[in-house]
A and B are shown apart, each in its own frame.
Chain A
Amino acid sequence: MKRGKITVDVAELRVVREGSEILHSLSFRASEGELIGLLGPSGSGKSTLMRSLLGVQVIAGGALQILTKPAGARSLRGKLGYMAQGSAVYLDLSVEENLHYFAGVLNEPREEVARVLEVVSLTSFARRVVSSLSGGERTRVSLATALLGSPPILILDEPTVGLDPILRRDLWDTFKKLAESGTTVLVSSHVMDEAARCERLLLLRDGHLLFDDSPTNLLAASKSSSYDDAFERLIEQHS
């Protein structure tokens, strides 16, 4: 795998919400073409980290450089494709009305909408109102908005939640392809087995980065045979 330029540079990031520190001095870097899994128990700070990268979270300390600009810089808007946890789309609009609006704000042509619908297998749902869709279908609408305009960085907060195994596999294949074409893809998940699909894992617990390496090294380091075991052991080691 050919490594490109550094696209994300997080140095000693600290986030404090309502008086308590949620992320403690987090540091890592990501490059072009990397597919990174962000794993960790509920409440460990995955979404907060992602929102900090997007520049919509006030940070208490540290530095966040995205494409050599400070996170949240005006010139970065639209350069990071974001899929928020819990599908941040308009429930009272149809699928294509949602996508046309987001594409319009990004100044992308209308054909881009058809393309992303194809990627998430929702072409036949284009005219359905989002509130009439199932949870997994809504998630994919939200994912489609993140893919608009093929941004150089993708930040996907639990994109495979509530999806069947076949769709999950298809989406991971898509993420892989995107990474191969040079996109930096950061994907959060609860499901440890999905970890194996990434070439690099970040494990987060209570706002601390416990592990940053490949899945194979995770198994080796913790002498475990399954990813669930490996994660449990790692957490025990650090508590």
Chain B
Amino acid sequence: MNLRRVLLTTRRILQQLRHDPRTIGLLLLVPSALIGLLAWTLSRRPSSFASIGPQLLGVFPLIVMFLVTSVITLRERTVGTLERLFTLPLTKGEFIAGYAFAFGLLAVVQSMLVATLSYTWFGLSHQGIPWRIGLVALCAGLLGTALGLALSAVAHSEFQAVQFMPAFILPQLLLCGLFVPVGQLPAALRLIADVLPMTAAIHAIAPWQSTAFYTGQFAIMVAYILGALAAGAATIRRKTK
């Protein structure tokens, strides 16, 4: 892996986004706006916001980053620039890493923004430590990017990529403990839920747990991020059938 080519790719992706301020705005502001809206709807029940708000901090960045990454990488394929790059000395790993860095950077900004706004303007009072919530938002954003990269290799069109959202993200949303606490799920579903990345994100936000528990949840998320990036690099083909 050549770091220079990775960073060139990252810079190129960020330049593309700079020419598209609307996408940057949506990326950075939508999760914050959604949390703000939630805070407003629950303004008469502050205790509900204190319990749901942090959990959604681990969900919204994942969905937003998943959609943007899968659509942008798919566009490389349909426009032909991906095939063009594969005639040059750029490896699949460098290509994937370039994307991971670019969107990782955006995920950092996005998560800092949403965490800061939540604790200040939206009046979130949570027993957890703010930096842990920021870190969960960051992992969620990175995970969305990694999943988007992996699935864009499988999708044939931008339309299909968007349709992966309900197939891959919504089941996790149902199982992650947001609607029914994981402990109250039927045994079989609970086994699945416990190893899903979105569940790990929500566990990592839960207050009053041991350091070992939090470390375990972050380890699950990091494993998924790395696994999805590796899957992305493995599923992209230099040659077309």
Contacts and interface: CB of A to CB of B under 8 A. Distances in A.
Interface of A: 17-18, 51, 54-58, 72, 74, 77-78, 80, 82, 84, 86, 88-94, 97, 101-102, 104-107, 129, 145
Interface residues of B, number: 25
A108 B165 CA distance: 40
Contacts of A101: 8-9, 11-12
B18 to A, nearest CB: 9
Given A88-B79, A90-B16, A145 B84 contact: yes
Given A55-B87, A84-B80, 11 more contacts: A51-B83, A51-B240, A58-B241, A78-B88, A88-B84, A90-B81, A93-B16, A101-B8, A102-B88, A105-B88, A107-B89
Nearest to B80: A88
Nearest to B85: A105
A148 to B, nearest CB: 9
Interface of B: 4-5, 8-9, 11-12, 15-16, 19-20, 79-81, 83-90, 238-241
A126 to B, nearest CB: 14
Contacts of B240: 51, 56-58
Contact of B88 (A18, A94, A106): A106
A132 to B, nearest CB: 10
Nearest to B8: A104
B90 A105 contact: yes
Given A55-B239, A97-B15, A105 B80 contact: no
5 contacts: A77-B87, A77-B90, A84-B80, A84-B84, A105-B85
A18 B241 CA distance: 8
